[in-house]
Structure 1
Amino acid sequence: MSRKIFKNHRLLFILVIILFTLSGSINILTANGVQEKKEEIEITVAVFKGPSGIAATKLLGDNFQPGFNTKVNYIILGSPMEAVAKMTSGEVDAVFLPVNMAAKLYTKGPRFKLAAVSGLGSLYMVSTDNSIKNWFDLRGKTIYLTGKGATPDYLLRYLLLENGLNPAEDVKLDFSAQAPQIAQLMIAGRAETSFIPQPFVLQIETNSNVAKTVLDPQKELLRIRGGKQAFPFTAFAISPKLYENRPEAAASLIEALEKSITWTLENPKEASQIIENYGIMSAVIAKKAIPVSGIEFVSAAEAKESVEDFLKMMLDLDPVSVGGNLPDEGFYFSK
């Protein structure tokens, strides 16, 4: 008789497990003691090829899952512009992108919040002309850079104006090539001056006998505006679907990002192979890029002051760059 009861209990237990699995949901006890059922949701994290993708190395390598009945899918895209339509349509829920673009997508919709800063400024002025000693010496130069209307464009125009140059008249800004192509032009001696991020600076200086870093915009920006650290360059932003429906999963993902950055900086050899496996950049370049690309974790709360100052700078230069207005307090995600 006892054996029969045991068998029935075991069958009941298996049935419960099957029903739980099929339901795809979890029960959460609310403050009132009521069981609230939460369905499993899927979110997509977009990672980009290039330096900004380095921060996500461990997330990708481990296929990190935040729990709380939230499944994460990772996709690799070529540039932030590819993600904008996907963010607007709800296809992407977490993304690495320029800080001003994150602000714009908050003020103009779809209300993505800043979860953390994952990269600080790593842009430099590189030239084969060793007569360039200060920013005014750029007068009359053709400067190669990427992304008209992107962060490098706005930042360079601001620094030129602050140093007495008119970006529209005193220099020629050439946006005809992407960073890898600009690096090759510099190495081949077909371009004299470029405003370019790491690791391409390292690539140019390693392969050219004459090109070198002549100006540091991070230092110049600190001189002009003050502050304690390089300007915030890359934001990790999250969607309402994530921070409203699964704030616990959002917090878990942000914590994992911080650990990913720490691990990557401490283990460049292992990290570089993961980076290559996901097509972000070659392992050879990644290993050299990891220490110099400004990869750093700063929580939204800690980054707030520097982010606000950087966005104000861009707002004064061109209101369109941040969506017409500075984002309100809601822009900064808090756990």
Structure 2
Amino acid sequence: MKKICSWLLVMALFAAALAGCGPREAQGDETIKDTGEKEETSTPVDVRIAALKGPTAMGMVKLMDDVDKGEVKSENYSFQIAASADEVTPKLVQGDLDIAAVPANLSSILYNNTKGKVQVLAVNTLGVLYIVENGETVQSAADLKGKTIYASGKGSTPEYALNYILKENGMDPASDVTIEWKSEHSECVAALANDPSGIAMLPQPFVTTAQKKNPAIRVALDLTEEWDKTQENKEEKSTLLTGVVIARTEFVKKHPEAVSDFLERYASSVDFVNADTDQAAKLVGQYEIVTEEVAKKALPECNIVCVTGEEMQKQLSGYLKVLYDANAESIGGSLPEDEFYYSE
């Protein structure tokens, strides 16, 4: 009788061990709370997203439309379109937003100022800056010497990009050109209208807006192409970037499945925007980012992308290094650590 009981006890323990080694999915949802780092659950979570009017928001319009149509059930997405980064950053830092599309250098500033409380998920916009004029005087970067350039974006990507290209072409931005800084891109468009010989640095879609008001305005230089020309003989190459998508580090750690879901859907949205300009332009107009007419012409020139992983880190770290070498404060005082760059 003792042998039978012992045998039954062994079998019971063996069965318990097998149950413990079974698939985790069979045990229901899992939440890791004691570390505060990870929470995985099949229950949809709220994902609050913001983007700025312009290319950073344009890439999201298909995802926004899918959400509004009720076609997305995986997570509870909500979107805000803001006029400036000043509207977005406080909400992100205070935890009122989870994900945001922001200027590339601002992502590093936030990382440094919050001591690592944000991570970059993707590069979402390459260079969108252009030199435009009413005439034919500018055929190369060297032709900018001695000119007056209307521009906006002082203290951010436009200023650093322009200064870098001028210096790489042997010019001192402080003495070889005159840069009249405006508070908004629309002021540059107005300045061009009042100055027949004027030159301006504008991003898309404001280039298209300016050309709509004055068809004589010509794109003289694509600053992304000019930047690339300066990289030909450099050992450490960089790319001109405009925008990235960042997220609160706490949100990334707590909801990894939601982050993966967002990146997958966002990449699909970007593919749609780049493949079907007409339909994308309708959505851009629908969400009042810019008018459908402007979007239809501007979208092919907006360099909207969704670059993630190692390539994202390579592109962004190279760009931030250029800014750091020019002015460390432009990226928050120091280059971000590897933990800044999200990887699945």
Q: Is the 8 A contact 2:210 2:217 kept in 1?
A: yes
CA-atom RMSD in angstroms: 2.6
Shift of 1:135: 2.4
In the superposition, the TM-score normalised over structure 1's length comes to: 0.82
**Cα deviation digits, residues 271-321 of structure 1 (max 9, x gap):** 222222222111111111221111112113222212111110000011011
Q: Is the 8 A contact 1:66 1:249 kept in 2?
A: no
Determine the C-alpha separation between the residues in 2 that align with 1:103 and 1:78: 20
Matched residue SS, 1:225: coil
Q: Is the 8 A contact 2:238 2:319 kept in 1?
A: no
Q: Which residue of the other structure, out of 240, 243, 248, is the alignment partner of 1:239? A: 248
Seen in structure 2, the aligned counterparts of structure 1 residues 193 and 294 have a Cα distance that, compared at 3 Å, is same
Determine the C-alpha separation between the residues in 2 that align with 1:173 and 1:189: 15
Q: Is the 8 A contact 1:144 1:191 kept in 2?
A: no
Determine the C-alpha separation between the residues in 1 that align with 2:246 and 2:313: 14
In structure 2, the partner of 1:293 is: 302
Q: Higher Cα Rg: structure 1 or 2?
A: 2
Q: Which residue of the other structure, out of 139, 148, 156, is the alignment partner of 2:145? A: 139
Does 2:277 align with 1:264?
A: no
**Cα deviation digits, residues 54-97 of structure 1 (max 9, x gap):** 01111211127573xx5322111111222111121111211111
In the superposition, the TM-score normalised over structure 2's length comes to: 0.80
In structure 2, the partner of 1:76 is: 81
Determine the C-alpha separation between the residues in 2 that align with 1:56 and 1:175: 30
In structure 1, the partner of 2:8 is: none
Alignment of 1:1-335 (within 5 A): 28-29=29-30, 41-63=45-67, 65=72, 67=74, 70-109=75-114, 111-189=117-195, 192-205=198-211, 207-208=213-214, 210-226=216-232, 231-335=240-344
Seen in structure 2, the aligned counterparts of structure 1 residues 37 and 148 have a Cα distance that, compared at 3 Å, is closer
Where structure 2 has 5 or more consecutive residues not aligned to the other structure, the ranges are 1-27, 33-38
Seen in structure 2, the aligned counterparts of structure 1 residues 115 and 140 have a Cα distance that, compared at 3 Å, is same
Matched residue SS, 2:245: strand
Matched residue SS, 1:43: strand
Determine the C-alpha separation between the residues in 2 that align with 1:40 and 1:277: 27
% of aligned pairs identical?
28
Matched residue SS, 1:305: helix
Shift of 1:203: 3.7
Matched residue SS, 1:237: strand
- Paired AA for residue 107 in structure 1: N
Determine the C-alpha separation between the residues in 1 that align with 2:264 and 2:207: 31
In structure 2, the partner of 1:17 is: none
Matched residue SS, 2:29: strand
Shift of 1:258: 0.3
Q: Is the 8 A contact 1:300 1:334 kept in 2?
A: yes
Matched residue SS, 1:175: strand
**Cα deviation digits, residues 131-150 of structure 1 (max 9, x gap):** 22332322232211111101
Determine the C-alpha separation between the residues in 1 that align with 2:52 and 2:106: 14
Shift of 1:123: 1.0
**Cα deviation digits, residues 124-176 of structure 1 (max 9, x gap):** 11123422233232223221111110101111011112222221222222222
Seen in structure 2, the aligned counterparts of structure 1 residues 37 and 150 have a Cα distance that, compared at 3 Å, is closer
